[in-house]
Amino acid sequence: MNEFFEFFSFADANVRYVTLGSVLLASSSAVVGCFTLLRKRALVGDAVAHAVLPGVCLAFILSGTKNPLILLIGAFITGWLSLIAIDFITSRSRIKEDTAIGLVLSVFFGVGILLLTAIQHSGNAAQSGLDKFLFGKAASLVGDDLIAFGVVAVLLLIATVLFYKELKLLCFDETFARTIGFPVRGLELLLTTLTVLAVVVGIQAVGVVLMAAMLITPAAAARFWTDRLGLMLVLAALMGAFSGVAGAFVSYTAPAMPTGPWIVLIISMIAILSFAFAPKKGWVARLLRQRTNKTLILEENLLKLMYQLGEPDQDFYRPRPIKELLARRAIPAKTAKIGLHKLRRQGYLERQPEGWSMTMEGVSRGRRVVRLHRLWELYLTQYLHLASDHVHEDAETIEHIITPELEQRLMIELNYPVLDPHSSKIP
């Protein structure tokens, strides 16, 4: 607890620099990463992250200093050139984008490693610590770094706010944006520039190897929680900021632990939890929804079956033994019993000594399922001109998801039919 209060008191200047720097880096890159993710260009961030290394090395060779602003300018130039190279290769050849990304990434990173090796063997004492751009070292952030990163982060956020509408349209409907006269090429270059800036501003914290994770992971996690871009940007920024603070705290309490990798590890844990437990798109929610749908289909199939058994003599309330139900439809006995008992608890069935009988509510629900099944069969034969013996399976599926509005529309389109394609009465 003492370490907790010492850290969050921010009395230590180094703690302030590292924490604020990590928050700025993580949140700003997460915001830009949302647009990169929605543009389906997630691997571009990895290419840029590896392509900035030669720029850092060249900036050091030409300037002879490790001034963070000069190094950032060098990183920005080569990172931007890498994206231009990817676009050029993709548009001027038959090479696909993923292949172009792999080519550019390997070439730029190879050149960067060669330059870094040359610098390390040059005898220049100022080169000490330059290799931290490979794997990051957020704990080494100082006031000058923070000013440079803060300026870039603010520029990223301002650009996102100013061009939010245009970038949103570019991500979701590029063709429409081009049609109404938006400068699509200019917007693409703007997004390219923002992506490069986001990568450049983060390499000193997590390095070129892990920077792609900081760009994409918060955006991917936020995407599971919402379908609104504005909220997605806010959630991604908050997740990135939290991972920045948590990573800095872990590094503070355990000095042997590097800050950058812990930031990536924490945001990855947040992403995994989002993938699993997000209320609508998570794995758990999907499994529960599948289970609910499976139960609904079983219930409606049982009620439909009992209604069909009562159609010949119009006796829908006669008790039906479970053997009669299973003989008519191939349902596992255990599954059928579970469905029957659940329908009884819902008030659609009653248990009789002779078997199971429907209540008035059960007859009404069973009648509707049969009506939807036969309406859809008739629609397929009349409007899609399918053979009557080819429509049953499709109707078995669609009958469970037809809404009352669609049911009414079918009745109108089919002119309130009486018989289905098999000459069975439509109830």
Domain CATH number, residue 216: 1.10.3470.10
CB 232 within 8 A of CB 222: yes
CB 380 within 8 A of CB 413: no
Say if residue 125's pLDDT is above 60.
no
Indicate whether 108 and 207 sit together in one domain: yes
Residue 424 falls within a domain, yes or no?
no
Say if residue 285's pLDDT is above 60.
yes
The boundaries of the domain holding residue 24 are 2-279
Indicate whether 214 and 101 sit together in one domain: yes
Say if residue 129's pLDDT is above 70.
no
pLDDT at 140: 60
- End residue of a domain, out of 215, 244, 279: 279
Indicate whether 208 and 264 sit together in one domain: yes
pLDDT band at 357; cut points 50, 70, 90: very high
Indicate whether 49 and 166 sit together in one domain: yes
More confident residue, 26 or 308: 308
The rounded mean pLDDT for the chain is: 85
Indicate whether 290 and 272 sit together in one domain: no
Indicate whether 268 and 317 sit together in one domain: no
Q: Could you tell me which of 96, 95, 85 has the C-alpha nearest to residue 40?
A: 96
**Total structural domains in the chain?**
2
- End residue of a domain, out of 255, 279, 303: 279
pLDDT at 218: 92
**Of the candidate ranges 162-166, 185-189, 200-204, 300-304, the one whose mean pLDDT is the lowest:** 200-204
pLDDT at 6: 75
Q: Could you tell me which of 292, 369, 358 has the C-alpha nearest to residue 325?
A: 358
Residue 422 falls within a domain, yes or no?
no
Indicate whether 263 and 292 sit together in one domain: no
Indicate whether 244 and 367 sit together in one domain: no
Indicate whether 156 and 269 sit together in one domain: yes
Torsion angle of C-alpha atoms 122, 123, 124, 129, degrees rounded to 10: 90
CATH no. for residue 348?
1.10.10.10
Say if residue 29's pLDDT is above 60.
yes
Residue 420 falls within a domain, yes or no?
no
Residue 427 falls within a domain, yes or no?
no
Residue 330 falls within a domain, yes or no?
yes
Indicate whether 220 and 327 sit together in one domain: no
Indicate whether 317 and 365 sit together in one domain: yes
CB 342 within 8 A of CB 299: yes
Residue 200 falls within a domain, yes or no?
yes
Residue 195 falls within a domain, yes or no?
yes
Angle at 421 between CA 416 and CA 422, to 5 degrees: 125
Q: Residue 191: is it exposed, middle or buried by C-beta count within 10 angstroms (0-12/13-18/19+)?
A: buried
Tell me the per-residue pLDDT of 40-51, one tens digit each, with 9 for 90 and over. Answer: 887 787 788 888
Indicate whether 249 and 341 sit together in one domain: no
Say if residue 139's pLDDT is above 70.
no
Longest dimension (CA), the chain: 100
Distance CA 389, CA 220 (A): 45
- End residue of a domain, out of 244, 279, 314: 279
C-alpha atoms less than 13 angstroms from C-alpha of 272 in its C-beta half-sphere: 6
Residue 303 falls within a domain, yes or no?
yes
